[in-house]
Structure 1
């Protein structure tokens, strides 16, 4: 069977979709899986052995452009796909497999998709509380799978592989100290400061870790450069040689390899958090108003710190620099203790 998956447009969601590909391959090893995705996702898909080909989606996030989607769909007609799985819930995401005339097109009921999809699933959110469960459920027989506990067990979590040679070469290319274990910090997050642990807490933790003999590497996009600079400026001058700010200075492929080389990772709720989890790194995930009840880090080596319960609207908050109070209240001492306990339990 040949399958086309219309993939998500966010890093974290793309990582969680790997559970669907792993499950399909485990149940039918002969399945050929192609995934459409933005070009920047291809470094992730290239490390998923279950994916045959990553097909670039040239249209920007949110762009309708029906004519271009029709052209792209028609160009796929000759590929001979038997099924399509549409992971996003939007109308536009269902257009490509429809124009490609793929016989069976599966997705959750979304905005005006009847006709575009001919295998429409009605989502019971209580039955499938996690996003990863909803992705995997699409690949299963809907008559057999009514609840999350009906899914193949254990659930196959996302898993990225990086070779030791790649790690060593990439660490050297960024002139990192091979004698000091790396602790990765991922201080950015979408939706602004409300989902971010304060930069001054990251700086305090960085100083403590450097004093213990580690080096700290800051990961993020160019949008996180200001936060990275603030963290770097807040550690002592003599410690800055052991704190490397790579915000906006790496390609995603390089960031994946360097995260794989980390002794451990501290992260906000972000796409990089999900990558670190898939790389099986000891991980401390810091949550505020966003909830780990829907998109937690999928790893036995991850620990979540959150001081509030339930869902809270993501907003700027009332405190300095617009950080959410629940994240301000997570102290560097708490994170350091959790990290030391986790690493001791894992023997790393």
Structure 2
């Protein structure tokens, strides 16, 4: 069976989708899995052995472009037996429909009844996103309940040769790390500043760790470069050489290698949090308005700090500080993070 998966748009969601691909290989042992997704996802999909290939989705997240979707669908005809649509949007169901794929499976969402012929209605029975993905790997009449649903842990393949090559590429930037183990920080968040641990807390944590003979690596996209630089420049000048701002300077594949090489990661609820979990790096995840009940880091080496209770609070910029930080994250003091991190490093 040839299966086309319409992949999600975000790094964290793409990482959680790996649990589905592993499930499909169990449910349909001889299946071939291709994933249609944005080109930036290719470095992740290339490290998932269950995926044969990633097909580039040329349209952006909010781009409707019905005509272009028809062309893409037409080009995929007679290649697949089943499509699994992970996004909930109406437009995400167009391409498998135009490709005339016989089985088109997905959750109910945005009035797409005529486009999906294997429609699932009980999404709320599966409270975690990874459970919702994995449930789509089963035939409709044989889906386990959430309590009994086995969700394979997402992982990315890494090897020491690739890590060595990537470290050589960034040798000049990482030259001050000699004799020190690296702790990675992922201080950005696509959700907005309300999802970020304050930069001054990160700086105080970095200061303490550098004095313990660690080096700090700051990871993120180009949009995270400024917040990462705020952290670095908040350090005393004599400590700055031991803190390297890599945000916006690495490819996603290079970031995977350098994260895998870290002794531990301290991170906001972000896509890179899920990457760190997938390379089995010990990580400390800091949550505020978002809820770890829905999208936690899927790793036995993950420790979560959240000081408030309840579900997701939909807020992009808080009113609790000039920078837009949320009070629940401001309240997570560096000494608490150092304590939890010390336990994790043991």
TM-score norm. by structure 2 comes to 0.96
Q: Distance in 2 between matches of 1:239 and 1:84?
A: 52
Aligned residue pairs: how many?
Answer: 340
| Corresponding residue for residue 212 of structure 2 | 212
Indicate conservation of the 8 Å contact 1:15/1:275, yes or no.
yes
Q: Distance in 1 between matches of 2:203 and 2:185?
A: 10
Indicate conservation of the 8 Å contact 1:194/1:323, yes or no.
yes
| Corresponding residue for residue 98 of structure 2 | 99
Structure 2 residues not aligned, in runs of 5+: none
After superposition, the C-alpha distances for 1:299-347 in whole angstroms (9 at most, x for unaligned) are 0000100000112232422322110000000011111110110121xxx
**Residue 324 of structure 2, aligned match among 322, 325, 329:** 322
Q: Distance in 1 between matches of 2:199 and 2:234?
A: 9
Give the CA deviation at 1:2.
0.6
| Corresponding residue for residue 248 of structure 1 | 248
Query: Are residues 1:260 and 2:260 paired?
Result: yes
Q: Distance in 1 between matches of 2:340 and 2:48?
A: 30
Query: Are residues 1:291 and 2:291 paired?
Result: yes
Q: Distance in 2 between matches of 1:41 and 1:2?
A: 20
**Residue 148 of structure 2, aligned match among 129, 150, 155:** 150
| Corresponding residue for residue 76 of structure 1 | 76
Q: Residues 1-348 of structure 1: matches in 2 within 5 Å?
A: 1-79=1-79, 81-125=80-124, 127-145=125-143, 147-151=145-149, 153=150, 155-175=151-171, 176=174, 177-311=177-311, 312-320=313-321, 321-344=323-346
Q: Distance in 2 between matches of 1:272 and 1:89?
A: 23
SS at match of 1:285: strand
Q: Distance in 2 between matches of 1:118 and 1:27?
A: 19
Indicate conservation of the 8 Å contact 2:107/2:123, yes or no.
no
Structure 1 residues not aligned, in runs of 5+: none
After superposition, the C-alpha distances for 1:201-232 in whole angstroms (9 at most, x for unaligned) are 00000011111111000001111111111111
Q: Distance in 2 between matches of 1:178 and 1:12?
A: 31
Which stretches of structure 1, 4 residues or more, deviate above 3 A after TM superposition? Answer: none
Deviates more, 1:138-147 or 1:63-72: 138-147
SS at match of 1:157: coil
Deviates more, 1:288-297 or 1:311-320: 311-320
Q: Distance in 2 between matches of 1:124 and 1:93?
A: 17
Give the CA deviation at 1:72.
0.5
Indicate conservation of the 8 Å contact 1:171/1:178, yes or no.
no
Distance 1:31 1:293, change over 3 A: same
Indicate conservation of the 8 Å contact 1:290/1:314, yes or no.
no
Give the CA deviation at 1:145.
1.9
